[in-house]
């Protein structure tokens, strides 16, 4: 069946155009003036009025953790609730972190993640694989992963999934051979462990010890070490959830040396700061994530970097826990499950505080949320574009509204909203997932229509 999205403005990374979009089945077949599109339609073509709205290519969130076992519990959102929240917020593709647990092969980890996700997703989905148990047989599996469409990986420099420098080096060497890329969680685990032990010995068991024991220097040092390893191997890497100016400066230094480094940040690092850790009781625990929230100056640095293109993507690091789960750490800050929800509000927050706030253009927003992640994670131009031949993944965003974030009006499976009370000037009115209208009037009307995306090699 053919349908036309009529009367909207199509946003691309290089310009915005008052054009209509013709969809046939799952694909965009034409984008053009009303007259051009009219000529391609017939009396059976459906018409969707999107007058006054911006049409973005479906947003991609390349950093989610659904159905993940962490800190003795499991994330509040699984693939069913997480992807429903995602699509309501305009995200038509997520890339989640499949995880190899100790003793497992990558194939085991991948099978496990397919079992968690398949048949449950309301948006399209792919997986990175987190590598935590490296050995010659896992090394050989990287070829199979690439074949399976798992072309990006994740390494942790902290947590119990961490890998040491020699392992990082060996993995980078192999990724260079197979054409894969890795995102890395950069924090110096030794420094954090020592600071945590000191805080505990001093009886400082409250949430305020969380940021104090994970300083920006721990992040910057780990980024520097990673980039030196990548320099010798001569391979691009991705610094995920960059939070601070110190880390940013390290990335810029590496680029000056001629290295290719990609960087991602998240709305919480742009819009929140570490004063939230002084909130009373377990209220502060809602904002515990790693790396932690930083200073206002750090957020300013990140906004500038989005505007000038030195940070390429904004993802969420959606890793949600209820307030009851957060209370697991009421007597010991190291036991607070780290992470917060974000997948439902990323697009409207970035529009309100980025585009409407005068910090980035809507074209830049399109690059950060759609084009760049599609290219970096091997999905472009099937995803990340509204162009003939691309998947008809389209976000219909209405600007100029007066809305507010509230937990009572969210579908993610959490009893609080980190951005509770935050004003929004945009609403995700409709979402098309491969041509099917899955969100109407800001409500999810079709669930579980998501498919696994077999991704190609990075190309940004």
Determine the size of the site formed for ligand DUC (CB under 6 A): 8
- Is residue 431 a contact residue for ligand DUC (CB under 6 A)? no
Ordered DSSP codes for 298-366:
HHHHHHHHHHHTSS-EE---B----HHHHGGGSS-GGGSPP-B--TTTHHHHIIIIIITTTSS-HHHHH
Closest CA to 41 of 23, 55, 67, 28: 23
- Selected binder of ligand DUC within 339, 342, 347, 378 (CB under 6 A): 339
Give 141 or 317: the residue with its C-beta nearer to Zn ion: 317
Q: Report the relative pairing of strands 73-74 and 59-64 from DSSP bridges.
A: unpaired
The dihedral through the CA atoms of 243, 248, 249, 254 has a sign that is: positive
- Is residue 226 a contact residue for ligand DUC (CB under 6 A)? no
Give 242 or 405: the residue with its C-beta nearer to ligand DUC: 242
Question: Residue 288: how many CA atoms within 13 Å on its side-chain side?
Answer: 30
Give 19 or 317: the residue with its C-beta nearer to Zn ion: 317
Give 156 or 277: the residue with its C-beta nearer to Zn ion: 156
Helix, strand or coil for residue 401?
A: strand
Shortest Cβ 65–ligand DUC spacing (Å): 5
Q: Report the relative pairing of strands 54-57 and 394-404 from DSSP bridges.
A: antiparallel
- Is residue 319 a contact residue for ligand DUC (CB under 6 A)? yes
- Selected binder of ligand DUC within 61, 298, 317, 393 (CB under 6 A): 317
Burial of 430 (0-12, 13-18, 19+ CB in 10 A): buried
- Is residue 442 a contact residue for ligand DUC (CB under 6 A)? no
Closest CA to 146 of 107, 115, 173: 107
Shortest Cβ 319–Zn ion spacing (Å): 6
What is the spatial distance between Cα 329 and Cα 332, in angstroms, rounded to a whole number? Answer: 5
> In this chain, which residue has its C-beta nearest to Zn ion?
317
Shortest Cβ 305–ligand DUC spacing (Å): 20
Give 13 or 342: the residue with its C-beta nearer to ligand DUC: 342
> In this chain, which residue has its C-beta nearest to ligand DUC?
339
- Selected binder of ligand DUC within 58, 109, 329, 338 (CB under 6 A): 338
- Selected binder of ligand DUC within 6, 65, 120, 427 (CB under 6 A): 65
Give 156 or 432: the residue with its C-beta nearer to ligand DUC: 156
- Is residue 317 a contact residue for Zn ion (CB under 5 A)? yes
Shortest Cβ 34–ligand DUC spacing (Å): 46
Angstrom distances, CA of residue 407 to CA of 63, 176, 227, 389, 416? 22, 44, 39, 38, 5
Shortest Cβ 241–ligand DUC spacing (Å): 6
Burial of 279 (0-12, 13-18, 19+ CB in 10 A): middle
Q: Which does 339 bind (CB under 5 to 8 A by kind): ligand DUC, Zn ion, none?
A: ligand DUC
Residue 108, C-beta contacts closer than 8 angstroms, at least 6 positions apart: 100
Give 233 or 279: the residue with its C-beta nearer to ligand DUC: 279
Give 141 or 219: the residue with its C-beta nearer to ligand DUC: 219
Closest CA to 253 of 209, 223, 214, 283: 223
What is the spatial distance between Cα 89 and Cα 395, in angstroms, rounded to a whole number? Answer: 9
Residues 280-299 that bind Zn ion (CB under 5 A): none
Residue 197, C-beta contacts closer than 8 angstroms, at least 6 positions apart: none
- Selected binder of ligand DUC within 84, 116, 154, 185 (CB under 6 A): 185
Give 92 or 158: the residue with its C-beta nearer to ligand DUC: 158
Q: Which does 84 bind (CB under 5 to 8 A by kind): ligand DUC, Zn ion, none?
A: none
- Contacting positions for Zn ion (CB under 5 A): 317
- Contacting positions for ligand DUC (CB under 6 A): 65, 185, 289-290, 317, 319, 338-339
């Amino acid at each position: 069946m053919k349908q036309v999205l009529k009367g909207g403005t199509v946003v691309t990374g290089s310009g915005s155009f008052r054009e209509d979009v013709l969809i046939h089945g799952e694909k965009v077949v034409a984008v053009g003036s009303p007259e051009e599109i009219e000529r391609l339609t017939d009396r059976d073509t459906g018409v969707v009025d999107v007058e006054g709205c911006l049409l973005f290519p479906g947003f991609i969130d390349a950093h989610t953790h659904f159905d993940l076992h962490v800190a003795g519990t499991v994330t509040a959102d699984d693939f069913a609730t997480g992807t429903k929240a995602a699509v309501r917020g305009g995200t038509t593709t997520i890339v989640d972190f499949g995880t190899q647990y100790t003793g497992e092969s990558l194939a085991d980890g991948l099978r496990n993640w397919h079992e968690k996700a398949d048949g449950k997703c309301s948006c399209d989905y792919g997986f990175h694989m987190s590598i935590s148990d490296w050995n010659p047989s896992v090394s050989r599996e990287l070829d199979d992963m690439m074949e399976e469409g798992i072309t990006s990986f994740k390494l942790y420099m902290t947590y119990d999934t961490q890998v040491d420098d020699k392992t990082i080096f060996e993995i980078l060497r192999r990724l260079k051979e197979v054409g894969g890329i890795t995102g890395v969680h950069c924090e110096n685990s030794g420094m954090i462990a020592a600071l945590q032990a000191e805080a505990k010995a001093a009886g400082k068991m409250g949430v305020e010890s969380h940021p104090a024991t994970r300083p920006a220097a721990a992040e910057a040092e780990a980024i520097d070490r990673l980039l030196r390893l990548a320099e010798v191997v001569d391979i691009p890497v991705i610094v995920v959830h960059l939070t601070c100016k110190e880390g940013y400066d390290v990335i810029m230094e590496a680029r000056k040396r001629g290295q290719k480094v990609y960087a991602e940040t998240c709305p919480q690092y742009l819009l929140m700061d570490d004063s939230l850790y002084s909130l009373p009781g377990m209220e502060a625990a809602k904002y515990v994530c790693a790396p932690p929230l930083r200073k206002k100056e750090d957020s300013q640095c990140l906004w500038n970097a989005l505007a000038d293109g030195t940070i390429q993507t904004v993802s969420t690091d959606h890793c949600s826990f209820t307030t009851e789960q957060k209370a697991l750490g009421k007597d010991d800050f190291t036991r607070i499950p780290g992470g917060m929800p974000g997948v439902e509000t990323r697009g409207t927050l970035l529009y309100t505080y980025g585009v409407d706030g005068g910090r980035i253009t809507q074209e830049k927003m399109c690059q950060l949320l759609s084009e760049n992640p599609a290219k970096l994670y091997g999905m472009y131009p099937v995803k990340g574009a509204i162009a003939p031949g691309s998947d008809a993944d389209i976000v219909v965003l209405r600007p100029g509204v007066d809305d507010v974030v509230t937990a009572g009006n969210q579908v993610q499976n959490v009893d609080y909203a980190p951005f509770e009370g935050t004003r929004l000037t945009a609403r995700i009115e409709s979402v098309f997932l491969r041509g099917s209208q899955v969100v109407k009037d800001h409500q999810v009307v079709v669930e579980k229509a998501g498919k696994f995306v077999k991704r190609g090699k990075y190309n940004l």
